[in-house]
Structure 1
Amino acid sequence: MKPFGHRAWLLVLLAALVGCAGPHRPAPVYDRYNPAEKAPPYYVVSRGDTLFSIAWRYGFDVKRLANANNIAPPYTIFPGQAIELKESSAPVAAKPKPASPAKAVTTPSAKPSANVAKAPVPAVPKPKPKPKPKPKPTTPAFSSESWRWPVHGPLVRRFVASGQAHKGIDIKGKMGEPVKASRSGVVVYAGSGLVGYGNLLILKHSERYLSAYGHNRRLLVKEGEQVKAGQTIAELGDSGTDSAKLHFEVRVNGKPVDPLKLLPRR
C-alpha cells in the first residue's frame, strides 16, 4: 500500500472544513428603545428634531425642559440650537405688552363768557361690542376618553420598568395593517430620528399624557395635525426592527408607564 500522500491529506482537511461550515446567517437585529444612556449637559438640535422628540429620548417632561431653556409654547426650536438637558418648574415669563401711546390733553385757553349761549352737544353713538374671538383649538381633554388598542394583534413583548428597560409593549401585526390613534390628540413628532423606533409618531393627548407608535411602514399624519381616537395614523411595518409589529408607549409627565394598565382588557 502506498503511503497517504500530502495531497490526499489536504483533500481530507478541505472536506472536513466544508462540512463544518453551515449556511451563512446574518447577525440578529435587536430593538433598542431609549438606551440607558446618561444625558449629556447639552443637546444640539438636528433637522427634524422637535422639543417633544428630545424630551422623549432622554425621559424629560417637555414643559419642564422648555422652562429650563426659556422656550415658550409652541416650543419652536431650530437646527444648531443648544438645548440644556435639565428640567425646571419655573414657567417661562410672558413677554410684556407694548405700552399704548399717551393721549394728548388739551386745555382751554380761556373760560367761556357767561352771556354766551351754550351750543347743543351732539349725541355720541355708543360703540358696538366687539365680537368675541373664536377659541383656539386645544388638545382634547384626557378625562373625556378611554384608551383604545392601536392594533389588535397578539402581545409579543411587555413593558419592563427596571434593568434594560423596555418602555412600552410590542404588538404583532401584518405588514401594512392600519395603526390607529389610541386617543384623540395632536401630532407632536413624525419622523425617524430616534434610534430603535423606526418611523415614529408621538401624539400629545393632554399636558400630562403622550403616546408613541413605532416601527411603522408609512406615516399618514403630519406634525401639528389633530387626530381623533380610532383614526388611522400609520401603516404597520418593521422599520427599525426585524419583524412586522407595533411598538406602543405611553408617558405621563415624561416618564414611561405600562400601557396595559390603561388599555381595556381583551
Structure 2
Amino acid sequence: MARSADAKKTRNKNAPFPWLWPVLIITVGVLLLLDNFLLLGDFNAVVLLPLLLVVAGTQILLRGDLLPSGDSSAFGITRGSVESGTLEISAGGVDVALYPLRAEGRLIAGQYAAGSRPHLDVHDTYSHIQMNRADTAWYAMSDWSVGLAKDLPWQFLVSTHLGQIDADLSELVVHEAILSSGIGDIRLVLPRESFKTLFIRSAFGNVHIVTPPGCRARVRVEGSRVFRARHDEYRYTPVEPNLFESTEYEADAPTVNVVIRGTFGDAYLV
C-alpha cells in the first residue's frame, strides 16, 4: 500500500486577530503585577480574570481553535490496491465533515489536526483508517474534513461527544454506517444504496436526513418523548407510527434503511 508523503501544514485562514491572546495575557499580567505592588490604588485587577474566559469563548466561536498555534494539516493517502475500507473517527469535541473525493487515485484526503496523521492498517485489499482525538493536541480544535474514494465500499464508525457531524454519503458506496453525537447536530445526505442499516444516534441535538432525488429510503425514528420526527410531506409519508418512507424514488432503486435514535431534539426528514 503506497502512502502519499505530501502532508503539509496549512494556516487556518479563519484565524482572526492572532495577536489577541498575547496582548490580552500581557495586559492582564502587567495589571496583576502592578496590583501586587499597590500601584493601582483601589482598583482590583483580579476582576479582569473573567475576561480571559470571554476571549477564549470568542476565539473558539470565530476560529475553531483555542490558541493561534493550532493549525490544521492537509493529508492524503493513495489508494493502491485497496478495494474496501473502514473509517473509524472518535472526534471528541471537534466537528467532522465527510464528503466524496472528486479526484481519482486517492483513498482518503482532507484536513486533520496539525502534527497528526490518520492511523492506517492494511490487510490484503482491506484498509482500516483511524482518526482519534486523543492522538491530537488538546488545544487543536480545528474541524476535521475528510474526503473519500467513491468507487469502493466503506464502513463508517463516527462519534463525537461535543461536536457536529456533516456526512455527505450521496456518491459513496456504503456498506454500513454508525454516526453518533453526544451534544451536537447530525446532518446526513443519504447514499443511494447501503448494504446494511444506517444507525444515527444523538443524545442532545437535531438529526437532519437529506434524501437525494431518486433515492428510496425507509426511516424509523426512536427515542424519548421529547425527541420528535418532522417530515417534508412532499418527500416522505408515514406508513406507521415513527416509520417513514420516501415518496419520490426510481423504480429500481434499492431501499436504504435508516434508524434514528435520540433523547433531546428533533429528526428532520427532507
Sort the TM-score into its range (normalised by shorter chain).
under 0.3
Larger Rg: 1
Larger strand proportion of the pair:
2
What is the TM-score with the length of structure 2 in the denominator? 0.24
Larger relative contact order (Cα-Cα within 8 Å, sequence gap ≥ 6): 1
